[in-house]
Amino acid sequence: MAFMNKSGLLFAALLALVLVSPAFRAEATGYDALLPLLVDLPGWEAEAADGADASVEGMRAVTVYRTYESGDRTFEVNLLFGTQAGMTWMPDYKEGWKMQTPEGLMEVKRIAGFLVYYMFENESNSGGIVVLIQEATTAKPDTGAVFAVSFEGLALDEALKTAQRFSWAKMKEQVGRLK
């Protein structure tokens, strides 16, 4: 874990927060339009996508999530819209940033027109991916959206290819319609 610097630990903590957020379910349907974006993946088993709308006056917080399994491999996805998206995507995530050690890799690059931050740990063959779907603005800090992935048992290239099986463009279009 020597490879995990402050940015990596912050990412891991935020990803853990995101992945436990389904426990805080709210009875609302503000996320229904986002559920179909979490598509079936051939070769993977998954329960139906679910979500939560924990928005309150002055703060937007919508999440949809789904966990996929294939043997001993897991692939957990979350589409976050609102305040928690801003907490997940750090302003320091700039295109071209990269840190690689024998233990793993952290990098920000543009994939299919979207900024993507990913972290991979070689020993555990696991990591996380965060795709900036829609950047929040200073005037509207709760309008950001990210697609966050946590994976275990996959090589980084396979995890990135699997993440791209979800239409990030459709995600951007759909979150743009949320009021």
The band of 131, judged by pLDDT with boundaries at 50, 70 and 90, is very high
Supply the pLDDT for residue 104.
97
DSSP code, position 136 = -
Q: How far apart are CA 30 and CA 111, in angstroms?
A: 29
The answer to whether position 71 is within a domain reads yes
Asked, for residue 81, whether it belongs to a domain, the answer is yes
What's the total number of domains in the chain?
1
In a domain, 150, yes or no: yes
Confidence grade of residue 8 (pLDDT, cut at 50, 70, 90): low
Q: Check if the beta carbon of residue 10 is closer than 8 Å to that of residue 90.
A: yes
Check the CA dihedral 86-90-94-100 and report its sign.
Answer: negative
Residues 61-70: tens digit of each pLDDT: 899 999 999 9
Q: Is residue 1 part of a domain?
A: no
**Number of neighbouring beta carbons within 10 Å of residue 161:** 11
Position 22 scores a pLDDT of: 45
CA distance 30 to 107: 33
With left for phi above 0 and alpha for psi between -120 and 50, is residue 103 left, alpha or beta? alpha
pLDDT, position 84: 84
In a domain, 106, yes or no: yes
**Domain assignment present for 27:** yes
* Structure confidence at residue 179 as a pLDDT band (50, 70, 90): low
Task: Domain of residue 50: give its range.
Answer: 6-177
